[in-house]
Amino acid sequence: MAASEGVDLEWCIVEKMRIKNNEQKTFTKSYSSKILKQADECVDHILKYAGRNKIEIWHSDDPKGPFGSIYAKPEPKTDIVLKVGSKLHTVSVKMAGPVQLASGQGASSAELFESAAKHLHSQKESKVLVSIIEGLKKMPTRLLSTSNLARIEKEASPKVITEFLKNGKIIQDKNYEYWLENNKEALMSSLLKYVESDDDFTTALLYEAMTGEISLKNYKGASADSIISPKGFHEIDGQYVESVKRKVKFDIRGKSRGGITGVAFRIDLTQ
């Protein structure tokens, strides 16, 4: 999914809902048939959820929304804000098909795990969890994949070339494939073993990945309490988390920008 498609879906839902409410007559943006279809399905779910209650809607970037323009670092979970009757919902929008619940490099992924542990008030962080968190923190943010070697040699500054290359070859400690071969299996093994053995922590991790309730608590309106996609509108609670648990996949992959690759921990959901 292109990032622009996701943003288009958010705005299309807002505009469709406002057209239904007679707050505007036509779209102010141009949308593909794919986006229009998915927005139709999302709006139908909103209307079904709302029943006879009045609906108001804002995009998270709208300064006129209940929280103003929503900002967070790294980014808010909230994409649109709904007011159904007197109740506000901060809503995460997902397109049809597989979606990312979380994707972050070392520091943000470690923060996700730390935040998830804070949901479990009666349980202290185990030595295994502490070890996993430290492993996530150490995931490198600047590596070079062999697939990007030619690009860096052609486009990068002498400083960047010196950082990654020696005698025309990628420096071992800067080699993405080398890092994966020597680190991914051990980290993923301990991580998967932990989430499979501790069901409560897995629930907390997925809940925090979807809502950002603890990690984004200092940013007004940034944590999501609901999720919408063409599949349905759901308040994010224990029951919803349990319903998607078996559809979730954890992985560690490269995340490249400008030819430079960082290692990212991902949580993907098959809808």
pLDDT surpasses 80 at 2 = no
Residue 213 has pLDDT above 80, yes or no: yes
Structure tokens at 74: 């790294």
Lowest mean pLDDT among 35-44, 178-187, 219-228: 178-187
Does an H or E element contain 3, and which?
Answer: helix 3-20
Main-chain dihedrals φ then ψ at residue 22, nearest 5 degrees? 60, 30
Position 1 pLDDT exceeds 60: no
- Say yes or no to pLDDT of 120 above 90: no
**Torsion angle (degrees, nearest 10) of CA 215, 70, 255, 9:** 120
Say what the pLDDT of residue 39 is: 97
Mean pLDDT confidence for 228-247? 94
Question: What pLDDT is stored for residue 100 in this prediction?
Answer: 87
Query: Average of pLDDT values for 177-185?
Result: 93
Question: How many helices (DSSP H) and strands (DSSP E) are in the chain?
Answer: 10, 10
Per the model's pLDDT, the better-predicted residue between 73 and 81 turns out to be 81
In degrees and rounded to multiples of 5, residue 114 shows phi and psi of -65, -40
What percentage of the chain has pLDDT greater than the value 70?
97
Q: Is the dihedral of CA 16, 208, 192, 105 positive or negative?
A: positive
Mean pLDDT of the chain: 92
The pLDDT, as a whole number, for residue 36 is: 97
d(CA 122, CA 120): 6
Q: Which of 53, 33, 34, 41 is nearest to 13 (CA)?
A: 41
pLDDT at residue 51 in the model = 94
What is residue 124's predicted lDDT score, i.e. its pLDDT? 61
Q: In the chain, which ranges are E strands?
A: 55-59, 80-84, 87-93, 99-104, 165-166, 169-170, 226-229, 232-235, 248-257, 260-269
**Cβ atoms 229, 96 nearer than 8 A:** yes
Of 96 and 127, the one with more pLDDT: 96
Q: How far apart are CA 219 and CA 181, in angstroms?
A: 38
Is the model more confident about 224 or about 168? 224
The pLDDT, as a whole number, for residue 128 is 85
Give the pLDDT confidence score for residue 164 in this predicted structure: 95
Mean pLDDT along residues 80-102: 94
